[in-house]
């Protein structure tokens, strides 16, 4: 499970290191360090899926009834999706279009999201987290 928050710096070429804890989850839980990184249809951030989770999502979407909303969702998600394998330093090269979508510059925030993780501009992450804390106060979970 991807959990925790990690900050890393992106270099001028758009390379950023995937946090070691996330690479460990990819290796130990998934047995594969490859990722699919794409736009989030819900926020101005990027989503990173282990290959196995990406295939589950594709299968689930393929079984859904067609609708204009599903078409829009698929366009946002699949049109920007690219597969990545971290280099020896654990870095991936995020293309310019995805960096622009998420307003990624130098300070990048990684956020665990259970079976996936998000990649945010650090300032946008701080703002989103504030809003999420407010919303989370209204959520009750019976344990």
Residues 59-68: pLDDT tens digits?
Answer: 999 999 999 9
User: Tokens 């990684």, residue?
Assistant: 110
Residues 71-92: pLDDT tens digits?
Answer: 999 999 999 999 999 999 999 9
Could you tell me which of 114, 127, 109, 113 has the C-alpha nearest to residue 18?
Answer: 109
H/E element, 77: helix 68-79
* Edge-to-edge strand list for the sheet holding 107-113: 5-9, 107-113, 116-121, 46-50, 35-39, 82-84
Domain ranges of the chain: 5-136
β-pair type (91-93, 15-17): antiparallel
**Would you identify the CATH topology of the domain 5-136?**
Chemotaxis protein chec (3.40.1550)
Residue-level pLDDT at 14: 97
Q: Supply the pTM of this predicted model.
A: 0.94
Task: Retrieve residue 21's tokens.
Answer: 């804890």
Q: Which residues contact 12 (CB under 8 A, 6 or more apart)?
A: none
């Amino acid at each position: 499970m991807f959990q925790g928050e990690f900050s890393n710096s992106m270099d001028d070429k758009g390379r950023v290191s995937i946090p070691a804890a996330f690479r460990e989850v990819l290796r130990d839980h998934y047995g594969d360090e490859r990722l699919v990184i794409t736009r989030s249809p819900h926020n101005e951030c990027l989503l990173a899926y282990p290959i196995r989770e990406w295939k589950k999502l594709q299968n689930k979407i393929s079984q859904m009834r067609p609708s204009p909303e599903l078409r829009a969702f698929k366009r946002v998600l699949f049109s920007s999706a690219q597969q990545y394998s971290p280099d020896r330093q654990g870095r991936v090269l995020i293309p310019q279009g995805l960096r622009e979508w998420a307003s990624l510059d130098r300070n990048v925030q990684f956020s665990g999201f259970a079976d996936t993780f998000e990649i945010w501009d650090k300032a946008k992450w701080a703002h989103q987290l504030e809003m999420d804390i407010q919303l989370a106060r209204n959520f009750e979970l019976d344990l």
